[in-house]
């Protein structure tokens, strides 16, 4: 069933498109990104906006940055892979302040960048078949 009013907490202001662009540029230096060679796995609908499982995978990457475009601040985490990494892939759990795009950008050793993104819905919940 639909939740009573207690389900909603008002959130602080969210990041602007400029904030998101600035966070991306800080990592890419303004370089173009390609959509191939990077995988971002996120749930379509978050079970709980306070702990959303996210998986990123970009074979061969030096580093992957994770951003949440609709949070008060878009930065989430940066994964730097060392020589003993078994794969350039990692999973974590993140906070999402409402429905938004999660973005992953990988920096490759040749100086190019890869980008993946997915919309994650955060819902009040209730009801069912």
80 binding partner (options Mn ion, other proteins, none; Cβ < 5 to 8 Å by kind): other proteins
Tell me the C-alpha distance between 53 and 93, whole Å.
Answer: 4
- Least distance from C-beta 88 to other proteins, angstroms? 9
One residue of 16, 25, 34, 123 binding other proteins per CB under 8 A: 123
Judge contact between 65 and 105, C-beta under 8 A: yes
For residues 37 to 56, the per-residue mask of contacts with other proteins, x marking binding by CB under 8 A and - elsewhere, is: ----x-xxx-xx-xxxx-x-
User: Residues touching Mn ion: how many (CB under 5 A)?
Assistant: 1
Using CB under 5 A as the criterion, what x/- string covers residues 100-129 for binding Mn ion? -----------------------------x
Task: Return all residues near 97 (Cβ < 8 A) that are at least 6 apart.
Answer: 11, 12, 14, 49, 68, 70, 71, 72, 122
Lookup result for tokens 């009040």: 124
- Using CB under 8 A as the binding criterion, the count of chain residues that bind other proteins stands at 53
Contacts for 66 with CB less than 8 Å, ≥ 6 apart:
54, 56, 76, 77, 78, 79, 92, 94, 102, 103, 104
10 part of the interface to other proteins, by CB under 8 A: no
For residue 117, what is the enclosing H or E element? strand 113-120
Site for other proteins in 80-99 (CB under 8 A): 80-87, 89-96
User: Is 31 a binder of other proteins (CB under 8 A)?
Assistant: no
25 touches other proteins by CB under 8 A = no
């Amino acid at each position: 069933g639909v939740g009573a009013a207690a389900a909603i907490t008002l959130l602080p202001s969210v990041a602007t498109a400029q904030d998101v662009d600035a966070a991306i540029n800080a990592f890419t230096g303004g370089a173009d990104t390609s959509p191939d060679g990077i995988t971002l796995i996120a749930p379509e609908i978050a079970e709980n906006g306070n702990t959303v499982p996210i998986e990123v995978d970009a074979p061969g990457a030096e580093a992957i940055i994770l951003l949440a475009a609709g949070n008060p601040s878009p930065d989430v985490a940066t994964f730097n892979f060392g020589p003993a990494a078994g794969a350039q892939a990692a999973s974590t759990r993140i906070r999402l302040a409402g429905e938004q795009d999660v973005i992953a950008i990988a920096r490759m050793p040749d100086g190019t960048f890869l980008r993946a993104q997915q919309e994650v819905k955060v819902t009040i919940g209730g009801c069912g078949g």
